[in-house]
Amino acid sequence: MTWKDMLTQLRANSPEVFDYFRVEVNASYKEIDGREVRVDYDYDALVIEFAEKYHEKYKPTVRIFKDSRVTATIEVYGYGSFSFPVTDKDEHFEQRLEITPRFAEFVQNQQLVDELRGIYDWIVTAYRSV
């Protein structure tokens, strides 16, 4: 799986338009003692910014590792970050949400929980479609 495969699936079923995304790619270079040295990271990252009602509310980052593992973090502005592995299994969304620090107030608002669940499901569905 590549970041391009994942991006294609994310675009196909997005809960909201995202015109802007950033790809943080594996290979970067850093100058050390006047020489360029390749610095490898274990993953590529898709950082997505929604363009409409989720703009400045949720910001997902999907990391695709070299061994095809995928993890995601959804930054929820004002509450914190919700992180999870992306797999073919049920990752227990509700239980993960309950143990995430600073989300006690968040889980009392069913609309916010439903929105976050929609983004979570979107990412998982994209992964399963690749």
Predicted confidence band of residue 25 (pLDDT cuts 50, 70, 90):
low
Residue 8: helix, strand or coil by DSSP? helix
How high is the pLDDT of residue 2?
Answer: 86
Give CA 8 to chain center in angstroms. Answer: 14
Number of H helices, E strands in the chain: 3, 7
How high is the pLDDT of residue 20?
Answer: 67
The model's pLDDT over 48-78, given as tens digits with 9 standing for 90+, comes to: 999 999 999 999 999 999 888 999 999 999 8
How high is the pLDDT of residue 125?
Answer: 95
What's the CA gap between 75 and 78, in Å, rounded? 9
How high is the pLDDT of residue 12?
Answer: 92
